[in-house]
Amino acid sequence: MATTGEERRAQLAEARVYLILTVCDDEGAWRSPLMEALRSGAVDVLQLRDVRADERRTYFLAGSLQILCHAFGVLFLLNDHPDLAAELDLDGAHVGQEDMPPSEARVLLGPDRLLGLSTHDAGEIEGALRMGVDYAGLGPCFPTDTKTLERTPGGGDLVASCRAAAGDLPVFPIGGITPANIATLVAAGARRAAVGAGILGAEDPAAAARALREALSAR
């Protein structure tokens, strides 16, 4: 498993399917779909988005998920909490525009862990490049029930409008992406995607993950 910054960034550059696991309770309804998705071999990155208020639970869950991800050769990142990501020696962390500034997150993470930033347009993509993040999430692309949207979904037009600004920065379109609509983003130039319910909420999570990867790898 990648352990240096160079190895992690090389693995990220080859990534296609970035899975987002949102945890809001302790029922563990997500465990079986997650295992199916990881066993498919189609997932490259997993991000834990733990919206529970108990940071101690986040700490222990992140530690156990990292072991699982590394067993499958999958990069594991934590949404927010770059301090915990560093303490647990995770592969990295992801921050939003309204969260901790990337410069502060980088200090906590150090140079060898990945740092991602949420973006919504070409201007924010350009800002991400200036701030030295390792990748960007770009959205929302389609309507989603996972979180309240403050911006109108941009679909393929959003992806196309940011291609020139991104340059070599890995960009993962996000927001309501499923195997049924991924072709729209691929036609606009997407080669990666960040997906939550489109995989974990599917009747067959493994098949959904494989279908997304096949579509993103078609060109």
Q: Which residues have a catalytic role annotated? A: 49, 118, 147
* Beta-sheet strand order (sheet of 114-119): 171-173, 135-138, 114-119, 92-95, 75-79, 45-50, 17-23, 193-195
- 54 Cβ partners below 8 Å, 6+ apart? none
Measured between alpha carbons, how far is 131 from 107 in angstroms, rounded to an integer?
Answer: 12
Decide if 216 contacts 16 (C-beta within 8 A).
yes
Give, as one character, the DSSP assignment of residue 53: S
Q: Return the half-sphere exposure (C-beta side, CA atoms, 13 A cut-off) of residue 81.
A: 24
- 92 Cβ partners below 8 Å, 6+ apart? 8, 75, 77, 78, 85, 109, 113, 114, 115, 116, 134
